[in-house]
A = this chain, B = another copy of it.
């Protein structure tokens, strides 16, 4: 994929490895990224500090932390936002990881990103969803991305960029593939944050930590992360 220099793309930036890579990648493809991060009272909102550092590193001109605090209120059943439910440990494909689902999260975030895209005349919204997430998260699948793009075009017919796309370059790729791309692009993975528990350092045991470790190992790239366990 390639962009005409200066074309704007709204990048959904969590502060994790995937969206960090995406931010560097979109820039590398010639577009001007505009980044949006979301505060939905996630236990790992520490990721927003990582997002800020990534914005500085990439000299991204426009960035907004969007207050979605109320989303936690209406999705109280997710262990990612509910203080009374522990984030489960173990591999990402385990049934228990279902508890980490925040219902419709990607659709809400992409919809809001698209509001901004229309306002800015951006050519697309970009998301770091990847194949490793498909088992648990239905909103990380190709089918969803394809339908999301169609629905966004219909919802904003006459207002949206005529070549608007939902850009999801990693949708058919695993996390190790992302690490390989990001390593070529010089992504500073040491400042990214994955752990869903949001402690001082990565716990090393929750699904997203397990996946982070595996990604570096499978990609044969040195893991700069300090883990508790």
Contacts and interface: CB of A to CB of B under 8 A. Distances in A.
A103 B107 contact: no
B64 A67 contact: no
Interface residues of A, number: 45
A176 to B, nearest CB: 26
Interface in A101-132: 101-108, 111-112, 114-119
A147 to B, nearest CB: 4
A198 interface: no
A49 interface: no
Given A66-B70, A67-B67, A155 B107 contact: yes
A76 interface: yes
Given A67-B70, A143-B154, A151-B148, A114 B103 contact: yes
Contact of A154 (B118, B147, B158): B147
A106 B155 contact: yes
A224 interface: no
Contact of A107 (B73, B76, B119, B151): B151
Contacts of A148: 151, 155
B104 A114 contact: yes
Main secondary structure of the interface of A (DSSP, over half): helix
A51 to B, nearest CB: 15
Contact of A69 (B67, B106, B141): B67
21 contacts: A36-B74, A64-B74, A67-B67, A67-B69, A71-B112, A74-B116, A75-B115, A103-B116, A103-B160, A104-B115, A107-B151, A107-B152, A107-B155, A138-B156, A138-B157, A138-B159, A139-B156, A141-B157, A144-B151, A144-B154, A147-B151
- Per CB-CB distance, the 8 closest pairs between chain A and chain B, nearest first, are A103-B118, A138-B157, A74-B116, A139-B155, A104-B115, A147-B151, A144-B154, A107-B155
